[in-house]
Chains A and B, each alone.
Chain A
Amino acid sequence: MSKDIRIKKGLDIKLKGKAQQKLSSVSRSKIFAIKPSNFHGIIPKLTVKVGDKVNVGDVVFYAKQNEQIKFTSPVSGEIKEIVRGAKRKILSVKIIADAKDTYKDFGIKSPSKITHQEVKKNLLESGCWASIKQRPYDIIANPDDSPKAIFISASATAPLAANPVFILNGREKEFQAGIEVLGKLTEGKVHLSFNPADASFFNDIQGVILHKVSGKHPAGNVGVQISKIDPVNSGEKVWVVQPQDVATIGKLFLTGKYDASKIIALAGSQVESPQYYKLIQGAQISDILDGKLSRDNSRIISGNPLTGETVILNDSVGYYDNEISVLPEGDHYSLFGWMPFFGNDKFSMSRTFFSFLTPKKEYDLDTNLNGEDRAMVVTGEMEKVMPMDIYPMQLLKAVLIEDIENMENLGIYEVAPEDFALIDFVSSSKIEAQDIIRQGLDLMIKEVG
């Protein structure tokens, strides 16, 4: 069964430095890190101390809020350092990797035969649970909930985003097993959406409802697809998993091992020859970028340029990120840069640059704000990039004044920060919409739960 979704509102931002479909391996890092800040809202409780030996899949910390949710080591080795910040907050756990991994055995289990309880236990023990997120709130799913549906978006429309089909290529069996396993977690349906061009890859996947989703970004955002297929109501939960993590879950059950390797795209105009790399979760950025940058003064982003996080060389790749984007920093002045039809190397949704004449051009955008923070003046621009049935400006204002009832009325449960990423981009008043939505969601967690 298949239902087609076509997204008309949105914006495709074409950036220079898209990853070529070529895969290499990154030489094994000496040090790996797990960053609790990758997992929003999680307060880590360590189960290891410096000097402890760990195998792949051994618990490193668990969530204070819910002890069932565990975070495990992606490599085998020795705990090197626990990096703490202000108020002794744990910033990262660093592990010196052995030359060769030894795995904790979770037991081979046939996805078709195991029970709901077994699935849950295995996912929680192996640390794979962290890859299951929930809507509302865009946080790690609570294992005690029963979601009304599970959504997997295998369509990536964000600028410089990694191609899910390229990532999954050759892992079809694991992906299928993962879907079967996830199906045990919900009474409802598992939905898989993908770009119509990739239909041949996904058509044979069993145990899911397939959706062809086409159109501009954010068509690939799972939140947009949820809103078109089965929107979240107050009190309901849906779970979302990224395709690559579905394959990792499948492999866990097929082999009994937690395999933390993943494929990411290294992209952006600052990268010498952008392409895909295979690495292990928690690998250091410096090992990946080693000699691959073509220019200085770069911003390294774990994730895509719209939603990613700024990282430095000795950080690790974000847990949920499928790409590293490197863009030029925009810390320069431009004389009369606000003059209409000047500065045509910039991209805009409005036709106030001559760049509208070259719709296919790929842009070398930098991180300049291209203006200053202002009160919200222009209306209608947010609506042009918001395909969900949401009034974005009104919701943002409700969050800003912390009006919980209004936030609920206007659909805060249906949105995640990434759904507002394009609003960050297009806003002529340079609103930080993603940040506002995150604060709104956190307020709802605190007040409503």
Chain B
Amino acid sequence: MDLRKQIDKIKPHFEKGGKYEKYGPAFDGIETFLYVPNHTTKKGAHIRDGVDLKRVMMIVVLALVPATIFGIWNIGFQNMGEGQSFWAYFSFGAIRFLPMVIISYGLGLGIEFAYAIFRGHSVNEGYLVTGLLIPLIMPIDLPLWMLAVSVVFAVVIGKEAFGGTGMNILNPALVARAFALFSYAAYMSGNTVWVADAVADGVSGETVLGALGGNIMPNTSVMDMFMGYMPGSVGETSVLMILIGAAFLLFTGIASWRIMLATVIGASLTGLLFNAIGSETNILFNFPWWQHLLVGGFAFGAVFMATDPVTAAQTTKGKWIYGFLIGVFAILIRIVNPTLPEGMMMAILLMNVFAPTIDHYVIKSNVNKRKKRLQKVKA
């Protein structure tokens, strides 16, 4: 049976004048997922780059794979402790994590398709990434219905209300997380949510930043921080795996190295500054600046969240400023804000809001240069 022939057979029903015309966008979404369509260039350049949004989004999904696999393993490892096999950890983690992924993709894509049908536009691929990011930045013990509500909020209010992929102001995955944090704070912070069944099993699931927030210097080794053998959101703990993803993103040319580098620079300088100031009452002032880069959601945010092209600054200079300020604010919030142990999410959301402003001033300098040139000619 030839799949292409089958599709061509039912396709007329979904086209203009067909029986299921209304569902055309949904059909189109599935068809173009299976096949890159036979569209040829009509205007402009006759040849086109092989890359399209689906390919771009798949690259990001692939870049997330190492962190995801490690995250699943770590769910088991944190719950069971030493001495079990890889598969024991991994299967335990998979059983806990897969329902989150299914809910995220199922609900999110369902809403995307519904909007596409309702508004008659094609299904955009942005959610391919968002759908995986959301479970990766949530605590593993978050009740599934809370995850579901957060997904719905993020997709409807965070994205579709603005016009869908490419139009949103805030990163949808972070909208989901922020929504969950403010709505269900008890399930999103503290010492028990970061390890599966921590309460029942009596495991201490304190994160490094959680400990620091309680003014205790944590005893997690630097190696553990880097490798990710510690509690935290599913995808955020292993800096090594995130760096592998980052290398892939940068090598393929999909994500902006400027944003990543600027974020690291901003955070490092801020950390250094606080280290230099020092404090006797706030232990966070003394937490080594470079360890800030290894703990919490910093690495994950810098690589996968800050670089979201839709919500980041769009100009080259703007990207430097945007990334730098994310780094600054992330560390600033961690150290001096007593209510939030982690600052990365807030820093990125804040800079999402300011990204257009940054771009505005960057572009204005170009405009002014042009005006000055004109004045010089006139003079």
| Residue ranges of A at the interface with B (Cβ–Cβ < 8 Å) | 13, 15, 159, 231, 233-236, 299, 301, 305-308, 310, 325, 327, 329-340, 343, 346-353, 355, 365-380, 383, 389, 391, 393-394, 409-411, 421-422, 424-430, 432-435
Contacts and interface: CB of A to CB of B under 8 A. Distances in A.
B119 interface: no
Interface of B: 3-4, 32, 34-41, 43-56, 58-59, 62, 122, 124-126, 163-167, 251-254, 256, 309-310, 312, 314-316, 319, 359, 363, 366-367, 369-371, 373-374, 377
Given A339-B55, A371-B51, 12 more contacts: A233-B373, A236-B377, A330-B38, A334-B36, A368-B40, A368-B48, A370-B49, A372-B37, A374-B124, A377-B53, A427-B48, A435-B44
Nearest to B313: A379
Quick one: which of A338, A394, A410, A433 has the most chain B CB within 10 A?
A338
26 contacts: A13-B47, A233-B370, A233-B373, A327-B47, A335-B3, A335-B34, A337-B35, A338-B54, A340-B58, A349-B253, A352-B253, A365-B47, A367-B47, A369-B48, A371-B48, A374-B122, A374-B124, A374-B165, A376-B166, A377-B126, A394-B315, A410-B363, A410-B367, A421-B45, A425-B49, A427-B48
Contact of A370 (B44, B51, B310, B367): B51
Contacts of A365: 47
B41 to A, nearest CB: 5
A333 B50 contact: no
Contacts of B38: 330-333, 368
Contacts of B59: 340, 352
A120 B307 CA distance: 56
A367 B46 contact: yes
A13 to B, nearest CB: 7
- Provide the main secondary structure of the chain A interface: loop
A430 B45 contact: no
Contacts of B359: 394
A333 B37 CA distance: 5
B315 A351 contact: no
A17 to B, nearest CB: 12
A374 B166 contact: yes
Given A334-B36, A427-B49, A428-B49, A375 B166 contact: yes
A352 B37 contact: no
Contacts of A425: 45, 47-49
A236 B355 CA distance: 34
Contacts of B41: 330, 367-369
A352 B254 contact: yes
Given A331-B38, A409-B370, A343 B314 contact: no
Quick one: which of A15, A337, A377, A411 has the most chain B CB within 10 A?
A377
Contacts of A15: 47
Quick one: which of B39, B52, B371 has the most chain A CB within 10 A?
B52
A370 B4 contact: no
Given A367-B46, A379-B312, A428 B253 contact: no
A425 B47 CA distance: 6
